[in-house]
Amino acid sequence: MQETKNSLELRLAAWEFKSLRGTFYLDLAKAMKASPGEPITKFLNRYGERYEKEPIGILARHWLSRFNHVGTFTESVRGTIPDEDLTVLAVSEQSGDLRVGLASLGRNIIGLTACKKEIVGALKASVFLILLLHVFFAIEAFVVMPKIESAMKSNIDLNKLGTIGYVFFSGADFIRGWWWAWFALLIFLTAAVIWALPNYVGRMRSWLDNNILPFQMYRDFNGASFLTSLGSVTTLMGSQVVQLNDALSRIAEDAYPWLSWQINMIQDNLQINPNGKGEIFNTGIVNRMAYYRILDMADYAEMSVMLSSVGDIILETAPIETKKKAETLRYVLMIICLSMMLGVYGGTFGLIDAFKAQVQLKSM
Protein backbone atom coordinates (compact mmCIF):
# COMPACT_ATOMS: atom_id res chain seq x y z
CA MET A 1 0.00 0.00 0.00
CA GLN A 2 2.81 2.39 0.94
CA GLU A 3 4.64 1.53 -2.30
CA THR A 4 1.54 2.36 -4.35
CA LYS A 5 1.17 5.67 -2.49
CA ASN A 6 4.82 6.56 -3.15
CA SER A 7 4.46 5.65 -6.83
CA LEU A 8 1.37 7.87 -7.17
CA GLU A 9 3.12 10.71 -5.34
CA LEU A 10 6.10 10.40 -7.70
CA ARG A 11 3.86 10.41 -10.78
CA LEU A 12 2.02 13.51 -9.61
CA ALA A 13 5.31 15.23 -8.80
CA ALA A 14 6.68 14.41 -12.27
CA TRP A 15 3.49 15.74 -13.90
CA GLU A 16 3.69 19.02 -11.98
CA PHE A 17 7.43 19.31 -12.55
CA LYS A 18 7.06 19.07 -16.33
CA SER A 19 6.02 22.72 -16.66
CA LEU A 20 8.68 23.87 -14.17
CA ARG A 21 11.66 21.94 -15.44
CA GLY A 22 13.05 24.67 -17.73
CA THR A 23 13.59 27.03 -14.80
CA PHE A 24 14.95 24.17 -12.67
CA TYR A 25 17.54 23.21 -15.30
CA LEU A 26 18.73 26.82 -15.54
CA ASP A 27 18.87 27.26 -11.76
CA LEU A 28 20.79 24.01 -11.36
CA ALA A 29 23.24 25.03 -14.12
CA LYS A 30 23.85 28.40 -12.41
CA ALA A 31 24.41 26.71 -9.05
CA MET A 32 26.91 24.30 -10.63
CA LYS A 33 28.73 27.20 -12.28
CA ALA A 34 28.97 29.01 -8.96
CA SER A 35 30.34 25.89 -7.24
CA PRO A 36 32.66 24.21 -9.79
CA GLY A 37 33.74 20.71 -8.92
CA GLU A 38 30.86 20.02 -6.54
CA PRO A 39 29.11 16.67 -7.20
CA ILE A 40 25.56 16.76 -8.57
CA THR A 41 24.40 14.79 -5.51
CA LYS A 42 25.12 17.78 -3.27
CA PHE A 43 22.70 19.95 -5.25
CA LEU A 44 20.04 17.23 -5.37
CA ASN A 45 20.29 16.76 -1.63
CA ARG A 46 19.87 20.50 -1.14
CA TYR A 47 16.70 20.56 -3.28
CA GLY A 48 15.35 17.54 -1.42
CA GLU A 49 15.78 19.26 1.94
CA ARG A 50 14.57 22.71 0.94
CA TYR A 51 11.46 21.63 -0.98
CA GLU A 52 10.54 18.55 1.05
CA LYS A 53 6.84 18.36 0.13
CA GLU A 54 6.99 20.13 -3.23
CA PRO A 55 7.35 18.29 -6.59
CA ILE A 56 11.01 19.24 -7.03
CA GLY A 57 11.86 18.03 -3.52
CA ILE A 58 10.07 14.70 -4.02
CA LEU A 59 11.83 14.17 -7.34
CA ALA A 60 15.23 15.29 -6.05
CA ARG A 61 15.14 12.65 -3.31
CA HIS A 62 14.08 10.03 -5.85
CA TRP A 63 16.91 11.04 -8.21
CA LEU A 64 19.40 10.98 -5.36
CA SER A 65 18.32 7.46 -4.43
CA ARG A 66 18.59 6.27 -8.03
CA PHE A 67 21.93 7.99 -8.55
CA ASN A 68 23.48 5.68 -5.98
CA HIS A 69 22.48 2.72 -8.18
CA VAL A 70 22.86 3.99 -11.78
CA GLY A 71 25.73 6.46 -11.33
CA THR A 72 24.62 9.15 -13.82
CA PHE A 73 22.23 12.08 -13.60
CA THR A 74 20.63 11.20 -16.95
CA GLU A 75 19.69 7.69 -15.86
CA SER A 76 18.60 8.99 -12.46
CA VAL A 77 15.97 11.28 -13.99
CA ARG A 78 14.83 8.84 -16.71
CA GLY A 79 11.11 8.16 -16.41
CA THR A 80 10.39 11.37 -14.50
CA ILE A 81 11.12 13.89 -17.28
CA PRO A 82 10.11 13.89 -20.98
CA ASP A 83 12.25 11.54 -23.09
CA GLU A 84 13.26 14.37 -25.42
CA ASP A 85 15.26 15.98 -22.57
CA LEU A 86 17.41 12.89 -22.07
CA THR A 87 19.51 13.18 -25.24
CA VAL A 88 20.94 16.63 -24.45
CA LEU A 89 21.56 15.62 -20.83
CA ALA A 90 23.23 12.33 -21.81
CA VAL A 91 25.53 13.90 -24.40
CA SER A 92 26.57 16.76 -22.10
CA GLU A 93 27.16 14.37 -19.19
CA GLN A 94 29.24 12.02 -21.36
CA SER A 95 31.28 14.96 -22.66
CA GLY A 96 32.08 15.92 -19.06
CA ASP A 97 30.07 19.14 -18.77
CA LEU A 98 26.52 18.49 -17.59
CA ARG A 99 26.16 22.15 -16.69
CA VAL A 100 26.29 23.24 -20.34
CA GLY A 101 23.60 20.74 -21.30
CA LEU A 102 21.35 21.83 -18.42
CA ALA A 103 21.72 25.51 -19.33
CA SER A 104 21.03 24.89 -23.03
CA LEU A 105 18.07 22.64 -22.29
CA GLY A 106 16.63 25.12 -19.78
CA ARG A 107 16.76 28.01 -22.26
CA ASN A 108 15.17 25.89 -25.00
CA ILE A 109 12.34 24.67 -22.78
CA ILE A 110 11.52 28.15 -21.45
CA GLY A 111 11.37 29.46 -25.03
CA LEU A 112 9.21 26.53 -26.17
CA THR A 113 6.86 26.93 -23.20
CA ALA A 114 6.35 30.63 -23.94
CA CYS A 115 5.70 29.79 -27.60
CA LYS A 116 3.17 27.11 -26.62
CA LYS A 117 1.27 29.51 -24.34
CA GLU A 118 1.04 32.08 -27.13
CA ILE A 119 -0.30 29.48 -29.54
CA VAL A 120 -2.92 28.15 -27.08
CA GLY A 121 -4.00 31.70 -26.25
CA ALA A 122 -4.46 32.52 -29.92
CA LEU A 123 -6.92 29.65 -30.36
CA LYS A 124 -9.09 30.26 -27.29
CA ALA A 125 -11.46 32.65 -29.08
CA SER A 126 -12.14 30.11 -31.84
CA VAL A 127 -12.86 27.36 -29.32
CA PHE A 128 -15.20 29.71 -27.42
CA LEU A 129 -17.18 30.48 -30.61
CA ILE A 130 -17.62 26.78 -31.34
CA LEU A 131 -18.83 26.14 -27.76
CA LEU A 132 -21.19 29.13 -27.98
CA LEU A 133 -22.74 27.76 -31.18
CA HIS A 134 -23.30 24.37 -29.55
CA VAL A 135 -24.94 26.00 -26.51
CA PHE A 136 -27.20 28.03 -28.79
CA PHE A 137 -28.40 24.98 -30.72
CA ALA A 138 -28.89 23.05 -27.46
CA ILE A 139 -31.12 25.80 -26.02
CA GLU A 140 -33.05 26.00 -29.29
CA ALA A 141 -33.61 22.22 -29.48
CA PHE A 142 -34.21 21.41 -25.80
CA VAL A 143 -35.94 24.57 -24.54
CA VAL A 144 -37.34 26.83 -27.28
CA MET A 145 -38.70 24.33 -29.83
CA PRO A 146 -40.51 22.05 -27.31
CA LYS A 147 -42.38 25.11 -25.94
CA ILE A 148 -43.28 26.31 -29.43
CA GLU A 149 -44.37 22.83 -30.47
CA SER A 150 -46.51 22.42 -27.33
CA ALA A 151 -48.25 25.76 -27.90
CA MET A 152 -48.86 25.15 -31.61
CA LYS A 153 -50.02 21.55 -31.82
CA SER A 154 -53.00 22.23 -29.52
CA ASN A 155 -54.30 24.76 -32.07
CA ILE A 156 -53.31 23.49 -35.53
CA ASP A 157 -51.97 20.49 -37.41
CA LEU A 158 -48.19 20.98 -37.45
CA ASN A 159 -47.97 19.40 -40.91
CA LYS A 160 -49.73 22.49 -42.30
CA LEU A 161 -46.75 24.69 -41.41
CA GLY A 162 -44.98 23.52 -44.54
CA THR A 163 -41.24 23.17 -45.12
CA ILE A 164 -40.17 25.56 -42.38
CA GLY A 165 -42.14 23.64 -39.77
CA TYR A 166 -40.78 20.31 -40.97
CA VAL A 167 -37.18 21.55 -40.94
CA PHE A 168 -37.32 23.11 -37.47
CA PHE A 169 -39.32 20.42 -35.68
CA SER A 170 -37.44 17.55 -37.36
CA GLY A 171 -34.12 19.28 -36.71
CA ALA A 172 -34.96 19.74 -33.02
CA ASP A 173 -36.07 16.09 -32.78
CA PHE A 174 -32.83 15.00 -34.42
CA ILE A 175 -30.69 17.03 -32.00
CA ARG A 176 -32.60 15.77 -28.96
CA GLY A 177 -32.36 12.17 -30.16
CA TRP A 178 -28.79 12.13 -31.50
CA TRP A 179 -26.90 14.74 -29.49
CA TRP A 180 -24.93 11.98 -27.77
CA ALA A 181 -23.78 10.61 -31.15
CA TRP A 182 -22.61 14.08 -32.22
CA PHE A 183 -20.60 14.57 -29.02
CA ALA A 184 -19.23 11.03 -29.32
CA LEU A 185 -18.11 11.92 -32.87
CA LEU A 186 -16.49 15.16 -31.65
CA ILE A 187 -14.70 13.29 -28.86
CA PHE A 188 -13.54 10.64 -31.34
CA LEU A 189 -12.28 13.24 -33.83
CA THR A 190 -10.51 15.18 -31.06
CA ALA A 191 -8.89 11.99 -29.77
CA ALA A 192 -7.95 10.99 -33.34
CA VAL A 193 -6.25 14.36 -33.96
CA ILE A 194 -4.45 14.23 -30.59
CA TRP A 195 -3.22 10.72 -31.42
CA ALA A 196 -2.32 11.60 -35.02
CA LEU A 197 -0.19 14.65 -34.16
CA PRO A 198 2.75 12.64 -32.75
CA ASN A 199 1.97 9.22 -34.30
CA TYR A 200 0.53 9.40 -37.83
CA VAL A 201 3.22 9.35 -40.54
CA GLY A 202 1.22 8.07 -43.53
CA ARG A 203 1.20 9.54 -47.01
CA MET A 204 -1.23 12.32 -46.01
CA ARG A 205 0.98 13.61 -43.20
CA SER A 206 2.95 16.10 -45.30
CA TRP A 207 -0.28 17.59 -46.64
CA LEU A 208 -1.74 17.82 -43.13
CA ASP A 209 1.41 19.56 -41.83
CA ASN A 210 1.19 22.13 -44.62
CA ASN A 211 -2.57 22.79 -44.68
CA ILE A 212 -4.38 21.92 -41.42
CA LEU A 213 -3.86 24.39 -38.55
CA PRO A 214 -3.37 21.94 -35.61
CA PHE A 215 -0.81 19.97 -37.66
CA GLN A 216 0.91 23.17 -38.83
CA MET A 217 1.23 24.31 -35.21
CA TYR A 218 2.52 20.92 -34.12
CA ARG A 219 5.09 20.85 -36.96
CA ASP A 220 6.34 24.38 -36.23
CA PHE A 221 6.52 23.86 -32.46
CA ASN A 222 8.20 20.46 -32.55
CA GLY A 223 10.40 21.35 -35.52
CA ALA A 224 11.78 24.28 -33.53
CA SER A 225 12.27 22.03 -30.49
CA PHE A 226 14.14 19.49 -32.62
CA LEU A 227 16.42 22.08 -34.22
CA THR A 228 17.36 23.68 -30.90
CA SER A 229 18.00 20.25 -29.34
CA LEU A 230 20.08 19.16 -32.35
CA GLY A 231 21.97 22.44 -32.17
CA SER A 232 22.77 21.78 -28.52
CA VAL A 233 23.88 18.20 -29.17
CA THR A 234 26.08 19.09 -32.16
CA THR A 235 27.65 21.90 -30.13
CA LEU A 236 28.63 19.37 -27.50
CA MET A 237 29.79 16.73 -30.00
CA GLY A 238 31.28 18.85 -32.74
CA SER A 239 29.82 20.05 -36.05
CA GLN A 240 31.25 17.67 -38.65
CA VAL A 241 28.92 15.52 -40.78
CA VAL A 242 29.77 12.33 -38.90
CA GLN A 243 28.93 13.96 -35.59
CA LEU A 244 25.68 15.32 -37.05
CA ASN A 245 24.63 11.81 -38.05
CA ASP A 246 25.54 10.52 -34.60
CA ALA A 247 23.56 13.33 -33.00
CA LEU A 248 20.53 12.48 -35.15
CA SER A 249 20.82 8.83 -34.13
CA ARG A 250 20.98 9.79 -30.46
CA ILE A 251 17.85 11.95 -30.69
CA ALA A 252 16.08 9.19 -32.66
CA GLU A 253 16.55 6.79 -29.73
CA ASP A 254 13.98 8.68 -27.65
CA ALA A 255 11.92 10.10 -30.53
CA TYR A 256 8.16 9.70 -31.00
CA PRO A 257 6.96 8.40 -34.43
CA TRP A 258 6.62 11.78 -36.20
CA LEU A 259 10.08 12.95 -35.15
CA SER A 260 11.60 9.54 -35.87
CA TRP A 261 10.07 9.67 -39.37
CA GLN A 262 11.57 13.14 -39.96
CA ILE A 263 14.99 12.08 -38.64
CA ASN A 264 15.01 9.05 -40.96
CA MET A 265 14.37 11.34 -43.94
CA ILE A 266 17.13 13.74 -42.83
CA GLN A 267 19.55 10.82 -42.47
CA ASP A 268 18.54 9.53 -45.92
CA ASN A 269 19.31 12.98 -47.37
CA LEU A 270 22.63 12.95 -45.53
CA GLN A 271 23.49 9.57 -47.06
CA ILE A 272 22.63 10.81 -50.55
CA ASN A 273 24.54 14.06 -50.05
CA PRO A 274 27.22 13.59 -47.32
CA ASN A 275 28.53 17.12 -47.89
CA GLY A 276 25.08 18.68 -47.73
CA LYS A 277 24.27 21.45 -45.29
CA GLY A 278 20.88 23.11 -45.10
CA GLU A 279 19.35 21.09 -47.94
CA ILE A 280 19.38 17.89 -45.89
CA PHE A 281 16.56 19.40 -43.78
CA ASN A 282 14.23 19.61 -46.77
CA THR A 283 11.85 17.03 -45.29
CA GLY A 284 8.95 19.17 -44.10
CA ILE A 285 10.17 19.29 -40.51
CA VAL A 286 9.80 23.09 -40.66
CA ASN A 287 7.68 25.37 -42.82
CA ARG A 288 8.95 26.64 -46.15
CA MET A 289 10.06 30.03 -44.81
CA ALA A 290 12.06 28.43 -41.99
CA TYR A 291 13.67 26.02 -44.47
CA TYR A 292 14.84 28.95 -46.60
CA ARG A 293 16.36 30.50 -43.47
CA ILE A 294 18.24 27.24 -42.87
CA LEU A 295 19.60 27.35 -46.46
CA ASP A 296 20.69 30.98 -46.14
CA MET A 297 22.36 30.59 -42.74
CA ALA A 298 24.03 27.29 -43.62
CA ASP A 299 26.21 29.15 -46.13
CA TYR A 300 28.06 31.16 -43.49
CA ALA A 301 27.37 29.63 -40.04
CA GLU A 302 28.45 26.41 -38.38
CA MET A 303 25.81 23.69 -38.21
CA SER A 304 25.20 23.97 -34.45
CA VAL A 305 24.95 27.78 -34.57
CA MET A 306 22.66 27.68 -37.60
CA LEU A 307 20.32 25.09 -36.06
CA SER A 308 20.00 26.91 -32.75
CA SER A 309 19.48 30.26 -34.48
CA VAL A 310 16.75 28.94 -36.79
CA GLY A 311 15.09 27.20 -33.86
CA ASP A 312 15.09 30.48 -31.90
CA ILE A 313 13.68 32.36 -34.91
CA ILE A 314 10.86 29.82 -35.27
CA LEU A 315 10.03 30.18 -31.58
CA GLU A 316 9.81 33.96 -32.07
CA THR A 317 7.84 33.92 -35.31
CA ALA A 318 5.59 30.87 -34.82
CA PRO A 319 3.30 32.58 -32.25
CA ILE A 320 2.95 35.62 -34.53
CA GLU A 321 2.14 33.49 -37.57
CA THR A 322 -0.23 31.32 -35.54
CA LYS A 323 -2.01 34.40 -34.19
CA LYS A 324 -2.62 35.58 -37.75
CA LYS A 325 -4.03 32.19 -38.72
CA ALA A 326 -6.08 32.04 -35.52
CA GLU A 327 -7.50 35.51 -36.16
CA THR A 328 -8.49 34.51 -39.69
CA LEU A 329 -10.10 31.33 -38.31
CA ARG A 330 -11.88 33.36 -35.64
CA TYR A 331 -13.37 35.78 -38.19
CA VAL A 332 -14.49 32.91 -40.43
CA LEU A 333 -16.07 31.10 -37.47
CA MET A 334 -17.68 34.33 -36.30
CA ILE A 335 -19.31 34.86 -39.70
CA ILE A 336 -20.45 31.22 -39.82
CA CYS A 337 -21.78 31.27 -36.25
CA LEU A 338 -23.60 34.60 -36.66
CA SER A 339 -25.08 33.48 -39.99
CA MET A 340 -26.35 30.23 -38.50
CA MET A 341 -27.72 31.91 -35.36
CA LEU A 342 -29.44 34.67 -37.34
CA GLY A 343 -30.78 32.01 -39.69
CA VAL A 344 -32.29 30.08 -36.79
CA TYR A 345 -33.69 33.25 -35.21
CA GLY A 346 -35.20 34.33 -38.53
CA GLY A 347 -36.55 30.82 -39.14
CA THR A 348 -38.13 30.78 -35.65
CA PHE A 349 -39.95 34.05 -36.32
CA GLY A 350 -40.95 32.70 -39.74
CA LEU A 351 -42.37 29.63 -38.03
CA ILE A 352 -44.38 31.82 -35.66
CA ASP A 353 -45.72 33.87 -38.60
CA ALA A 354 -46.72 30.66 -40.38
CA PHE A 355 -48.53 29.54 -37.20
CA LYS A 356 -50.38 32.86 -36.96
CA ALA A 357 -51.46 32.55 -40.60
CA GLN A 358 -52.82 29.03 -39.99
CA VAL A 359 -54.72 30.17 -36.87
CA GLN A 360 -56.29 33.02 -38.83
CA LEU A 361 -57.34 30.60 -41.61
CA LYS A 362 -58.80 28.22 -39.02
CA SER A 363 -60.83 31.00 -37.41
CA MET A 364 -62.34 32.21 -40.67
**80-134 pLDDT per residue, tens:** 998 878 878 887 887 777 888 888 888 878 877 877 777 777 778 888 888 999 9
DSSP at 105: H
In angstroms, the Cα distances linking 61 to 21, 65, 66, 70 are 16, 6, 9, 14
Q: Which residues of 115-134 are buried (b: 16+ CB within 10 A; e: fewer)?
A: bbebbeebbebbeebeeebe
Q: Look at residue 118 in the predicted model and tell me its pLDDT.
A: 74
Looking at the chain, the whole-number percentage of residues with pLDDT higher than 70 is 95
- 37: three-class secondary structure by DSSP: coil
Q: Look at residue 264 in the predicted model and tell me its pLDDT.
A: 94
- 328, 332, 338, 343: CA torsion to nearest 10: 170
Q: Look at residue 239 in the predicted model and tell me its pLDDT.
A: 47
Instruction: Compute mean pLDDT per 10 residues along the chain, 364 residues long, and list them.
Output: 66 91 92 88 90 90 90 90 83 80 84 76 82 91 86 74 82 92 94 94 93 87 81 64 74 86 93 84 88 82 73 74 78 88 86 77 66
In angstroms, the Cα distances linking 123 to 130, 326, 327 are 11, 6, 8
Q: Are 263 and 257 in contact (CB under 8 A)?
A: no
Q: How far apart are the first and last CA of the chain?
A: 81
Q: In terms of Cα–Cα distance, which of 260, 105, 268 is closest to 198? A: 260
What does the alpha-carbon distance between residue 285 and residue 258 come to, in Å, rounded to a whole number?
9
Q: Look at residue 184 in the predicted model and tell me its pLDDT.
A: 96
The predicted model scores a pTM of 0.76
Q: Look at residue 240 in the predicted model and tell me its pLDDT.
A: 45
- 303: three-class secondary structure by DSSP: helix
Q: Look at residue 5 in the predicted model and tell me its pLDDT.
A: 53
What does the alpha-carbon distance between residue 343 and residue 328 come to, in Å, rounded to a whole number?
22
Domain boundaries, the chain: 2-81, 115-364
What does the alpha-carbon distance between residue 89 and residue 97 come to, in Å, rounded to a whole number?
9
